[in-house]
């Protein structure tokens, strides 16, 4: 059984063509960055099984998708945090956390997740009254309680203002330290990537640029501002990639 | 008099329950991944709104008569005709009120969008599980609206029940037809009592709907 996650998707969706081949490290957070419209969200949806494009995907040696097999989303042990949290509005916070936990028999970790994300004061509340940051914390806890083998986060902070981001980042850093499974984290924000990611993948025009020396990645990102490039370079250094001489 | 009221309430209640069960899969099918040709079905289910009740009643009468191919299928089961029967009235009421059930439920499913179902799938819910634990509760206001509209519309229907029911006391005689007969017979006192009861009942039903809706709105805060 080979650890880690390997995949390749090639196909058209509307007018957009995805041709992505990638590998995720078996541990740590991999940031997926790149300009808007590069196909980051589509790739994430392919991994979650929410979109079906021709290709293959192997997670810890188990085929989630290949020529003969396509595991539907509800059979994939994957935790997804959507951009706008997508909480179930007819349930309380506790109801949202337990919805996935019960179906994945993950109730055992309930108290730990509530503690990790500081959710105790929110449990009885309805989702309509939560702030943006609180919503994302609930969405994150809900995903973790499904006992995932892989966590996917689609720009979970992009809809938040600076104050809300500052509030939630420490929770994400704690999570990063305690997370036992790999995570794919879509983000444009170099600061977030530098604080949260161990590895870096970059997408452009539907393709994933293989991880490599910092300078080459920086060249790929010529469209980004200098500050963003520095952030990505920093993240790449932390990920153990060395600059070219 | 009380028999007329009982027949009416029984008809409206049964129609509402059966129609919601029938309209839910139709509304779901129409709301999911809409294709242009699905609107043909959408138009057919909406047709009873714009057809004159006499036209609808005429065709229903033909369909429920002993000679119709539809009834021919039921002959082996000992059923010769459903015209001028309570069961026929239920079928007619269901056809007549179909749009009032399908439209609000379809709108509610469409307003919900695909995201809650995607979230449910990532939380390990099978499609059927997600339908019952996410789609139905999220669309509950659509169901409430549909139930009230169908019930009220059935209580208020006149043309269709007159044509296919025949106002047989104890079986197919309902309030709206009774009021018409009372007025024709110049029994204004009786007509007044019955009409006032319908107004009061309709008002109470609408008020209940608004209050329940309001309660749901506030429920989780």
pLDDT in tens, B137-159: 999 999 999 999 999 999 988 98
Q: Which residues in chain B are closer than 8 Å to A92, comparing Cβ atoms?
A: 220
Contact with chain A for residue B52, Cβ under 8 A: no
**Chain A closest-CA separation from residue B48 CA (Å):** 33
pLDDT tens-digit readout, B109-120:
999 999 999 999
pLDDT (mean) for A215-224: 55
**Chain A closest-CA separation from residue B114 CA (Å):** 10
Q: What is the DSSP string of chain A?
A: ---SEEEEEEEEETTEEEEEEEEE-SSSEEEEE--TTSSHHHHHHHHHTSS--SEEEEETTEEEESSS-B--GGGS-EEEE-TT----TTSBHHHHHHHHHHHTT-GGGHHHHHHHTT-GGGTTSBGGG--HHHHHHHHHHHHHTT--SEEEEESTTTTS-HHHHHHHHHHHHHHHHH--S-EEEE---HHHHHHH-SEEEEEETTEEEPP--HHHHHHHTTTS-HHHHHHHHHHHHHTT-----
Residue whose pair of structure tokens reads 């973790």 in the numeric block = A144
What is the ipTM score, two decimals? 0.85
Residue B201 to residue B156: CA distance in whole angstroms: 11
Contact with chain A for residue B220, Cβ under 8 A: yes
Please state, in angstroms and as integers, the Cα–Cα distance from residue A228 to each residue in A188, A189, A207, following that order: 8, 7, 20
- Mark which residues 103-142 of A lie under 8 Å from B by CB: 103-104, 125-129, 142
Contact with chain B for residue A79, Cβ under 8 A: yes
Task: Say what the pLDDT of residue B76 is.
Answer: 86
pLDDT tens-digit readout, B41-50:
999 999 999 9
Is pLDDT of A240 > 70?
no
pLDDT > 90: percent of chain A: 54
pLDDT tens-digit readout, B154-188:
998 898 999 998 888 888 899 999 999 999 999 99
Residue A4 to residue B185: CA distance in whole angstroms: 86
pLDDT tens-digit readout, A72-127:
999 999 999 999 999 999 999 999 999 999 999 878 889 999 999 999 999 999 99
pLDDT tens-digit readout, A16-65:
899 999 998 888 889 998 888 899 999 999 999 999 999 999 998 899 99
Confidence bin at A229 (pLDDT 50/70/90): low
Q: How far apart are the first and last CA of chain B?
A: 46
- Closest CB to A74: pick one of B115, B125, B221: B125
Q: Are A2 and A16 in contact (CB under 8 A)?
A: no
Q: What is the pTM assigned to this prediction?
A: 0.85
Picking from B122, B132, B143, B213 by the largest number of A CB atoms within 10 A of its own CB, the best residue to mutate is B122
Task: Say what the pLDDT of residue A214 is.
Answer: 40
Structure tokens at A65: 């998708």
* CATH class of this structure's domain B2-219: mainly alpha
Residue B28, burial from CB neighbour count under 10 angstroms (0-12, 13-18, 19+):
middle
The residues spanned by each domain of chain B are: 2-219
pLDDT (mean) for B116-132: 96
Task: Say what the pLDDT of residue A189 is.
Answer: 82
Task: Say what the pLDDT of residue A194 is.
Answer: 81
Picking from B108, B115, B124 by the largest number of A CB atoms within 10 A of its own CB, the best residue to mutate is B124
Task: Say what the pLDDT of residue A71 is.
Answer: 96
Quick one: closest CA in A to B216, which residue? A90
- Reference B171, options B88, B48, B113, B77; nearest CA is B88
Task: Say what the pLDDT of residue B75 is.
Answer: 86
Angle between helices B86-112 and B2-31 (to 10 degrees): 40
DSSP 3-state assignment of B4? helix
pLDDT tens-digit readout, A183-219:
999 998 888 888 888 888 889 889 998 654 444 455 5
């Amino acid at each position: 059984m080979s650890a880690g996650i390997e995949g390749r998707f090639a196909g058209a969706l509307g007018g957009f063509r995805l041709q992505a081949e990638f590998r995720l490290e078996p541990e740590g957070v991999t940031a997926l960055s790149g300009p808007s419209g590069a196909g980051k969200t589509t790739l994430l949806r392919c991994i979650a099984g929410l979109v079906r494009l021709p290709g293959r995907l192997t997670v810890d040696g188990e085929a989630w998708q290949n020529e003969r097999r396509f595991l539907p989303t509800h059979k994939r042990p994957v935790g997804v945090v959507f951009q706008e949290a997508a909480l179930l509005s007819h349930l309380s916070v506790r109801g949202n956390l337990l919805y996935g936990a019960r179906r994945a028999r993950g109730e055992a970790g309930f108290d730990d997740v509530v503690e990790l994300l500081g959710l105790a004061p929110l449990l009885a509340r309805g989702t309509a009254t939560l702030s943006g940051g609180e919503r994302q914390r609930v969405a994150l806890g809900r995903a973790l309680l499904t006992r995932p083998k892989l966590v996917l986060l689609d720009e979970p902070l992009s809809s938040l203002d600076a104050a809300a981001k500052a509030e939630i980042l420490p929770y994400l850093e704690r999570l990063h330290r305690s997370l036992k499974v790999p995570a794919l984290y879509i983000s444009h924000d170099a600061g977030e990537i530098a604080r949260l990611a161990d590895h870096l993948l970059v997408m452009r025009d539907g393709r994933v640029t293989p991880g490599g020396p910092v300078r080459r990645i920086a060249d790929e990102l010529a469209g980004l501002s200098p500050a963003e490039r520095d952030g990505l370079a920093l993240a790449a250094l932390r990920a153990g990639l060395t600059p070219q001489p | 008099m009380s028999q007329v009221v009982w027949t009416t309430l029984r008809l409206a209640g049964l129609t509402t329950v059966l129609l919601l069960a029938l309209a839910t899969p139709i509304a779901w099918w129409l709301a999911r991944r809409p294709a242009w040709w699905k609107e043909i079905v959408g138009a057919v289910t909406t047709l009873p709104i714009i057809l004159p009740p006499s036209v609808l009643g005429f065709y229903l009468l033909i369909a429920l008569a002993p000679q119709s191919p539809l009834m021919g299928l039921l002959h082996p089961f000992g059923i010769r005709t459903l015209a001028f029967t309570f069961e026929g009235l239920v079928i007619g009421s269901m056809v007549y009120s179909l749009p009032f059930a399908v439209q609000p439920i379809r709108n509610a499913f469409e307003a919900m969008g695909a995201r809650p179902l995607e979230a449910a799938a990532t939380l390990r819910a099978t499609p059927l599980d997600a339908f019952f634990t996410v789609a139905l509760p999220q669309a509950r206001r659509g169901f409430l609206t549909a139930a009230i509209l169908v019930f009220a519309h059935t209580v208020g229907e006149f043309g269709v029940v007159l044509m296919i029911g025949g106002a047989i006391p104890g079986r197919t005689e309902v309030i709206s037809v009774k009021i018409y007969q009372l007025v024709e017979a110049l029994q204004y006192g009786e007509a007044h009592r019955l009409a006032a009861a319908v107004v009061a009942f309709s008002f109470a039903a609408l008020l209940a709907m608004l209050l329940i809706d309001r309660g749901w709105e506030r429920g989780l805060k």
